[in-house]
Copies of this chain bind each other. A is one copy, B any other.
Amino acid sequence: MTTRIQRRNRRRILDAALDVFSAQGFRGATLDQIAEAGGLSKPNLLYYFDGKEAIHRALLTDLLDTWLDPLRALDPAGDPQTEIMAYMRRKLQMSRDFPRESRLFANEILQGAPRMESFIRTELRPLVDDRAALLRAWATAGRIAPVDPYHLIFSIWALTQHYADFDAQIRMIRGDGHDPLDGADAFLEELYARLIAPAPQKAAAGPRAVTGGA
């Protein structure tokens, strides 16, 4: 057993692997790097996990489960604007708290999501479809502005994860002393408050078509 030490070592390995995989991608990462970052030898690493692929799979499995939580927490019974703002805030907080996880995720999708396809099709897609239907219902009822629900969700993903995924670029542009996320909260609050507020002009014939799009 010795479950105490085993669990500690597994955690150390996974943490080191998250460092390396998120920074180098799956193929770019090597067992040597993970072993060194975790403070153990390569064979010992392979005593705990059944190969490189298994380590990566364990990371993804841990991650994907919690990745859906913010979207799950979107409450159909709540106030539409409050709920959407809260979802955006939770996603931004995840970029702050789990930037490596965001980059691990991004690396996978960028390369065609070969190790995540079944998760996306069987778990993420139904959840997104369900929440998109909810957003559409809110829009139809006039409780939020009539925006496309899928693009609304994608925009929240894009804007929040950008700060984690493109962190290197933002740091080089803003200077090393600057926190990339400084001011992001206020900016996104403003952006989504303006976007989803219903009834923009009172009775002006705005360019807001409600043709039967997607």
* Contact between chains at B172 and A121 (CB < 8 Å): yes
* Contact between chains at B178 and A214 (CB < 8 Å): yes
Whether a CB of chain B sits under 8 angstroms from the CB of A78 is no
Of all chain B residues, which has the CB nearest A187?
Answer: B151
Q: Is the interface of A mostly helix, strand, loop or mixed?
A: helix
Of all chain B residues, which has the CB nearest A120?
Answer: B172
Q: Which residues of B contact A162 (CB under 8 A)?
A: 154-155, 157-158, 162
Within 8 A of B (CB), among A156-214: 157-159, 161-163, 165-166, 168-170, 172-174, 178, 182-184, 186-187, 190-191, 194-195, 200, 208-209, 213-214
Whether a CB of chain B sits under 8 angstroms from the CB of A42 is no
Cross-interface CB contact of A106 among B110, B186, B195, cutoff 8 Å: B110
Copies in the complex: 2
Q: Which residues of B contact A200 (CB under 8 A)?
A: 194
* Contact between chains at A173 and B103 (CB < 8 Å): no
Complex: A165 Cα to B155 Cα, angstroms = 13
Within 8 A of B (CB), among A14-33: 23-28
Q: Which residues of B contact A117 (CB under 8 A)?
A: 172
Whether a CB of chain B sits under 8 angstroms from the CB of A109 is yes
Q: Which residues of B contact A174 (CB under 8 A)?
A: 150, 214
* Contact between chains at A25 and B25 (CB < 8 Å): yes
A-B contact pairs, 30 of them (CB 8 A): A23-B112, A25-B111, A106-B106, A106-B110, A107-B110, A109-B168, A113-B168, A113-B172, A121-B172, A124-B169, A124-B172, A125-B172, A125-B173, A128-B173, A147-B187, A148-B183, A151-B183, A151-B184, A152-B187, A154-B162, A154-B166, A155-B187, A158-B159, A178-B214, A182-B213, A183-B213, A183-B214, A186-B209, A194-B194, A194-B195
